[in-house]
Structure 1
């Protein structure tokens, strides 16, 4: 599949259900249904989401077993094929060898591109170690017919952002087709684009969609767009057309909810908002992650209601 990396891609939630024993397990049918609803939604300009991200941060990647992760992605690959979009999966590991095995496994379940998180190590890796980690992932991807997307996420990694020098070195590897930058500091995107105007860069934080587009990003991976896909796709249409004022109206309307995308409990917060949106609060609270307090639940609800009211004025609920 030829991937253009222009547009916005939803990072879908992994919906859960209670088994007979009371334990939580993946609800594949509900997760598929959620993904279909998002991918079939059109923006005001007629475009749709340009990819599908499964088993990422919002998909509870760090809590899933290998078996659960592969089962989830195999299920989502059916949806991605139906809508003719690439399936992207997150991947994180402590060592380059472990990462290579993960990439090999993802190739067996219909994944097209792997978003590769920085190494999960206690000690901060050296620039050399970091390059070798990504280089082996790229070489493995080449062997199994995938591509990779280095994922610059300092908050999730727990240490400093990948340097622009390292990102530029990685970007020229044959099977690196895009970079994902998950930070509110969009100057990183601008610096990278000044060095190589042909780079494909995806923004990973919903609050900076418009600013990232101004800096040169060709698209983004969205969490809020899973809840309000029409708004997210339309905002990206305006960004790609350079209609900044119109794009900013949508960004401001979404702001109360987008704010949560940059918080440590983003997965728990946004999953609850998704549950509220679909009148399934209980489902939105089912997670392998942290249990939210009543104060946090009330805050998410208030933020969701405010965003919805603002989007209704713009005719962007759908």
Structure 2
């Protein structure tokens, strides 16, 4: 049976927190920093049944309205979340993507100035598919920039998401050994990618990025994960990861099945809108959960999220994991 290495945040689950919005005096939406900080702290306070807590804090990611924020808004948000991360002694993680490696380097430098410890680096945002050598140069400069800034990077492979180029397993292996690459984030329901990587390097640290495959990713060799559903039900998410790290697969799978109705939403194109609404329902604040810069949900979609949330809550209550 494996022992949990609590000193290494890569052997844990980390919440990808939502960016909460409020109406300004003009009626436009703006970031509610106080509420965003409060909910982030609330999640980091929670313990799993085995006594562990979340190992890091992910801010301004896909679930954090990232693609809708200006650079200034994003840096202010991350500066606020950095204070929360420091309070709970966990690393702050955020993402970066650009069309060119030079543009990416500037983003990495900027994130380092506001307290980000690890940058999830997505593939280039180009229409043409870059060659492996071009992709390697892109990640190599990001790693060097991070190293000079005193932080690390986490190459982020998201082959299931539209708009991001898939990183081949051969390239992932090449960039994984750069000095300041701390882990790889693999966001896909095809966990054979993780298994292939681990067969080549058993010491590699891989974080799963899709809630519905947490247990399967652990079986394939992932040491941790980044969760959206865990922001809503943190005790369940942490406890599931505790079981995964101990190799207690049957117990982990019970929790995975209990979360299934919500975890399904994490792999959908409107994952931010769906899961943010579920978080609002969880806190008796449906209106707040519907405040987003993203897509406005239909009543049918709202009802579907409500039903999925209710089912997960009922199942988790039976397991004493609310």
- Give the TM interval when normalised to the shorter protein: over 0.9
2:202 to 181, 197, 203: 197
How many correspondences in the alignment? 316
The question of whether the paired residues in 2 share the 8 Å contact of 1:117 and 1:157 is answered with no
1:154 to 150, 159, 167: 159
Where do 1:63-82 residues align within 5 Å? 63-82=68-87
2:186 counterpart of 1:175: no
2:120 counterpart of 1:92: no
Q: State the 1:60 CA deviation.
A: 1.0
Q: State the 1:167 CA deviation.
A: 0.3
Residue 4 of structure 2 is matched in structure 1 by none
Structure 1 residue ranges, 4+ long, deviating more than 3 angstroms after superposition: none
2:271 counterpart of 1:280: no
The question of whether the paired residues in 2 share the 8 Å contact of 1:120 and 1:157 is answered with no
The question of whether the paired residues in 2 share the 8 Å contact of 1:55 and 1:61 is answered with yes
1:36 to 33, 38, 41: 41
1:123 to 106, 122, 128: 128
Q: State the 1:160 CA deviation.
A: 4.8
The question of whether the paired residues in 1 share the 8 Å contact of 2:60 and 2:74 is answered with yes
CA distance in 1, matches of 2:313, 2:95: 29
Moved more, 67-76 or 157-166: 157-166
Where do 1:1-318 residues align within 5 Å? 3-156=8-161, 158=163, 160-317=165-322
The question of whether the paired residues in 2 share the 8 Å contact of 1:74 and 1:110 is answered with yes
The question of whether the paired residues in 1 share the 8 Å contact of 2:169 and 2:197 is answered with yes
In structure 1, runs of 5+ residues without a counterpart are none
- Aligned partner of residue 88 in structure 1, secondary structure: strand
Q: State the 1:7 CA deviation.
A: 0.7
- Aligned partner of residue 180 in structure 1, secondary structure: strand
1:55-112 CA-partner distances (Å, limit 9, x unpaired): 1110111111000000000000000000000000011111111111100000110110
Q: State the 1:125 CA deviation.
A: 1.3
Q: State the 1:3 CA deviation.
A: 4.8
Q: State the 1:157 CA deviation.
A: 5.1
CA distance in 1, matches of 2:225, 2:144: 25
CA distance in 2, matches of 1:221, 1:310: 22
In structure 2, runs of 5+ residues without a counterpart are 1-6
The question of whether the paired residues in 1 share the 8 Å contact of 2:125 and 2:164 is answered with no
